Homo-oligomer: A and B are copies of this chain.
Amino acid sequence: MSKTSAREVHLIARPIGAMQHEHIDTISVELPSLQNGDLLVRNQFMSVDPYMLGRMQGSINYIEPFKLGEAMVGEAVGKVLESKHPDFSAGDYVQHFFGWRDQFVCPGESARVISRIKGVSLDAHLDIMSNTTGMAAYAGMLDIAKIQNGEAVFITAGAGAVGAAACQIALALGCRVVASAGSKQKVNWLENDIGIHKAFNYRDFDSAESFDRALADAFPDGIDVTFENVGGFQLEAALSQMNNHGRIVLCGLIAYYEEDYNNDWSVNTGPRNFIQIADKWLRVQGFHAPDYADRMPEMEQRIGQWIADGQIQSRTTIMQGLDSAVDAMSGIMAGKNTGKMMIQV
């Protein structure tokens, strides 16, 4: 029997700050032959997310660091080329966590068959319908924020993958949505294509004070829900404009991801007006999207239908090939993506 070879991206050195070419190596491996229960999967798209940089650095506590000298992992979608598992057939599309390689032998229990919906492209399943991006927006808005029709919602990094999903879910549920983004082009996309009420280019502001004044104008009746992906002065201004009993979904704090923030006392990540959480009886809550994995089929159907109906859209920035890994990661940390950053393998 002929052997199948594959290419994998290995971590060979831990970044302190940004990811560079010296931290990874792309190597060829020979795949083992399929055992009963296994699938041979050809990856189509793999996700590139800010949290992966933390796994490379070894700087986040909630998920083990990537191991040096081994292939990295991450969410991906692929096509089953061969199946020795009764629940899968060749030709199925599957969602799994073995990104950073072009093909591989997958235990059947580690993959989930995607329900393809007419009018929904495959890459959307790694974006607005994925376990990480899509579920972060869906569970964040529905389970954590518990948004209600007519509420005023502020979303930071609204043109990012999770942010764009969050904007569209909030719109679909009848909220008034204002978001921030990092370029004029993204602001235009959010206002004109996505159709939110107002978008800001946060780079136009140099302080919490000036951003606070802009938010006050955009939210004359205050903010009910903030969906926070950034931190820094945007979070301070949001706290300042929150209504009593408001909710702040802490999805991410990308402002600090290139710092060695695990040394708690040297990097200051706290909003200066933290006391407003107490004074305005706010709820500020982090959450872990994979905790909601059992609701993937429900989310896939609901968001898939919104896409098919033209009510929401998946927007992706797709880099080509495993060799674009460093460009993809530095691109997302620099905010060069609009929507979900991914690599077409």
Residues of A in contact with B (beta carbons under 8 Å apart): 60-62, 207-209, 212, 231, 236, 239-240, 244, 250-253, 256, 261, 264-288, 291
Contacts and interface: CB of A to CB of B under 8 A. Distances in A.
Contact of A265 (B231, B264, B273, B279): B273
Given A278-B251, A279-B60, A273 B269 contact: yes
Given A62-B244, A244-B62, A272 B281 contact: no
* Interface-centre pick from A265, A276, A278 (highest chain B CB count, 10 A): A278
A146 to B, nearest CB: 13
A268 to B, nearest CB: 4
A284 B285 contact: yes
B273 A270 contact: yes
A270 B261 CA distance: 15
A277 B61 CA distance: 12
A270 B231 CA distance: 12
Given A240-B264, A284-B284, 6 more contacts: A208-B264, A231-B275, A252-B278, A266-B272, A267-B272, A278-B286
A253 B274 CA distance: 10
B62 A281 contact: yes
Q: Determine how many copies of this chain the complex contains.
A: 2
Nearest to A59: B279
A16 to B, nearest CB: 17
Contacts of A269: 270, 272-275
Contacts of A270: 268-274
Contact of A272 (B264, B278, B279, B280): B264
Contacts of A236: 264-265
A276 B261 CA distance: 9
A241 to B, nearest CB: 11
13 contacts: A61-B280, A62-B244, A209-B265, A236-B264, A250-B278, A253-B274, A253-B275, A253-B278, A264-B276, A266-B272, A270-B272, A280-B286, A281-B288
B286 A285 contact: no
Contact of A286 (B212, B253, B277, B288): B277
A208 B265 contact: yes
A287 B247 CA distance: 12
A297 B198 CA distance: 47
Contacts of A265: 207-209, 236, 272-273
A288 B108 CA distance: 50
Contact of A279 (B62, B212, B279, B281): B62
